[in-house]
Amino acid sequence: MFKDRHIIVIGSGIGGLTAGALLSAEGALVTVLEAQSFPGGCAATFRRNACRFDAGATVGCGFHSGGPMDELGRKLGIDWPIEAERVAWQYRHGELRLDLSRSRAEILERFPHSRPFWLEQDRLARLLWRLASGGLSWPPERPGDLAGLLRKGVAGLPGSARLLQFASKTALEWLAVHQLEGDSEFVRFIDAQLLISAQTTSPYANALTAAIALDLPTSGAWHVKGGMGSIAELLAKSIEENGGSVLYRKRVIRINSVRKEVIGVETGDGSAYASDMVVANLTHESLAELVGSPSAGSLLKRGTPSEWSAFMLYLVMDPSLFTLPGSRHLQITGQSGELGEGNSIFVSFSLPGESCIAPEGLYAVTVSTHTRPGPWFAASRRSREEYLKLKSAYEERVLDLMASQLPGAREAVQWLEAGTPVTWQRYTGRADGYVGGYPQTSLFDVRGPATGFDNMFLVGDSIFPGQSLPGVTTGARRVVEMVRRVKSLGGGQ
């Protein structure tokens, strides 16, 4: 279908690689330009100190039957290197411990009054997963998108009209319907889940995005053998097997355009690439920096920027600290106060016998917390000393919370490296180091793939439906449909 059509993909995050692999499989000549020496972006796996660490994302999801990753694998003929996790992760808050399993047994045992809420959440999530199957044209870019949604949703899915009741509700308002808003322990638990999967908490999260975000443990979590970067490596391989190229150490520094059409890109090593179409695995803010002129930049549709970046610890540790059979992820929240900023952390550790991840007798451990980028860049501008002081304070704060649930954590650390929003900006090229996607507060104020250029589209966690493997994959499927439409209309010539 796309024979002789040259498509440039900027960035080898999962969204860009998914779009590139699908387009390459349909005959397009795809060239992926990646600034780093390995693929994956925020879902990459890198090597340090004889260990492999997941850069950001650590939980595999969306691989359930009919899920976005399952559909993608079938379409591309990829057999994902995964194994199901018995427990998605364990939540710890003070003395409370909850295993987040497919059955939700421990949640229901601790909060039996929440059962009606979870039954409703399950019904909503089933509808939303089915609605997203094969891609989801939201927000609508043209009348045909809306008509397609109506056909697929209201006409095709009995009960989908129920979704309209929740479209303008917040998650907290939804909890209030079930008289749960006054249970502070339950609300904190929900807020902790929403922060990692919807980038915001119940007073602000849209109820429908909350329904799908809260479904991830129930739909299932998977351990990706060799690290999350294995997903990116297989997608890159698929592109190359279909005649495309994935070029590393190629940081795009400029996008050239004529009026509303992109004609090519330039990279920092002096290379230039002509293109018929461009798929940009970037945020709107980063893309605006590359378009080359204020007039071109004004074509980009802007929205509210992401609120969060991440502070990361990459640790080599003694494995005797971790005694959680069947679980390799821990979510720990402080007793009170705002979530994020070291007051809630997500801990992931390698499994015994994973020699490709860590040497025998050691574990590779990744710890993350949400943080706002502003103070980090302000400290960096003041002086390197101020930046390192802030970095050291966060290291201590995160290790303190980790040690509150895992006594001996500090003593078990054999090597440590930290990453801040400044690190994320340098590593990903994202303005202000924004990672994790946008806060999902509204269905009606979200960003779509369109850029204002006729032959350039955005992909990744900054467009609807946002972060996670299922999110960016669903967004990429829509981008492929939009590229097909441009081709059928004779655009991008």
| Residue 251: CA count within 13 A, CB half-sphere | 13
Residue 269 clears pLDDT 80, i.e. is over it: yes
Q: What is the pLDDT of residue 361?
A: 87
Report which listed range, 310-324, 326-340, 413-427, is most confident.
413-427
Q: What is the pLDDT of residue 301?
A: 53
> Could you tell me if 79 and 73 are in contact, meaning their C-beta atoms sit under 8 angstroms apart?
yes
CA distance 438 to 347: 22
Backbone phi and psi for residue 31, each to the nearest 5 degrees, phi listed first: -125, 120
Structure-token pair, residue 198: 């919807």
Q: Give me the residue spans of the domains in the chain.
A: 6-44+228-304+440-488, 103-217
| Bridge partners (DSSP) listed for residue 13 | 40
Q: What is the pLDDT of residue 294?
A: 57
SS3 450: strand
Q: What is the pLDDT of residue 158?
A: 59
CA dist list (Å): 250 to 29, 270, 285: 18, 10, 20
pLDDT, tens digit, 9 for 90 and up, residues 80-122: 999 999 999 999 999 999 999 999 999 999 999 999 999 999 9
CATH topology of domain 6-44+228-304+440-488: FAD/NAD(P)-binding domain (3.50.50)
More confidently predicted of 145 and 426: 426
Q: Is 404 exposed, middle or buried (0-12, 13-18, 19+ CB in 10 A)?
A: middle
SS3 137: coil
pLDDT tier, 382 (very low <50, low <70, confident <90, very high otherwise): very high
Looking at residues 173-188, what average pLDDT do you find? 97
CA distance 440 to 207: 10
Looking at residues 401-413, what average pLDDT do you find? 94
pLDDT tier, 493 (very low <50, low <70, confident <90, very high otherwise): very low
- Mean residue pLDDT of the chain comes to 90
Residue 157 clears pLDDT 60, i.e. is over it: no
Structure-token pair, residue 233: 């490596």
CA dist list (Å): 178 to 88, 191, 270, 366: 25, 16, 60, 36
pLDDT, tens digit, 9 for 90 and up, residues 6-56: 999 999 999 999 999 999 999 999 999 999 999 999 999 999 988 999 999
Residue 487 clears pLDDT 70, i.e. is over it: no
> Could you tell me if 357 and 224 are in contact, meaning their C-beta atoms sit under 8 angstroms apart?
no
Q: What is the pLDDT of residue 387?
A: 98
Q: What is the pLDDT of residue 299?
A: 57
pLDDT, tens digit, 9 for 90 and up, residues 461-483: 999 888 899 999 999 999 999 99
pLDDT tier, 348 (very low <50, low <70, confident <90, very high otherwise): very high
Contacts of 166 (CB under 8 A, 6+ apart): 124, 174, 207, 208, 211
